[in-house]
Amino acid sequence: MVLERALIRIVDGQELEFERSLLAAREVIAKAPGFRSIRVLRGIESPHVYLLLIEWDSLEAHTDGFRGSELFGQWRALIGAHFDGAPLVEHYAPLPPG
């Protein structure tokens, strides 16, 4: 399992439109092979900043599979117009039990 962390700044005043668009975008990403789950949080101190936590089966499921697919184009078409700059994306892997 790999956790994708995407920090997204939204254009001021477009937060509600982004959230509405995200409802449809969730349905798109859910179709991606290797997708497990998505959790979205909105900033308290900075309500125009959103944190997306997306679980994938593997790094490749996200980077090669989803990002290289038509689904990614659909995803970005739904929410990308609301972005205020490029999202900051990083990936994390769990530590082994011990």
Q: How many CB atoms lie within 10 A of CB 60?
A: 13
Number of structural domains (the chain) is 1
Cβ neighbour number for residue 4 with a 10 Å cutoff: 19
Q: Is residue 30 part of a domain?
A: yes
17-64 pLDDT per residue, tens: 999 999 999 999 999 999 999 999 999 999 999 999 999 999 999 999
Residue 7 lies in a domain: yes
Q: What is the DSSP letter of 22?
A: H
Report pLDDT for 98. Answer: 79
**pLDDT at residue number 64:** 95
- Mean pLDDT of all residues in 68-86: 97
Share of the chain above pLDDT 70, in %: 100
**Alpha-carbon distances, residue 73 vs 77, 93, 94 (angstroms):** 6, 26, 29
79 lies in a domain?
no
Q: Which amino acid is at 67?
A: R
Has residue 59 been placed in a domain? Answer: no
Q: Within a domain: residue 5?
A: yes
Range of the domain at 35: 1-48
**98 within some domain:** no
Does any domain span residue 75? Answer: no
For residue 74, is pLDDT > 90? yes
Is there a domain that residue 70 lies in? Answer: no
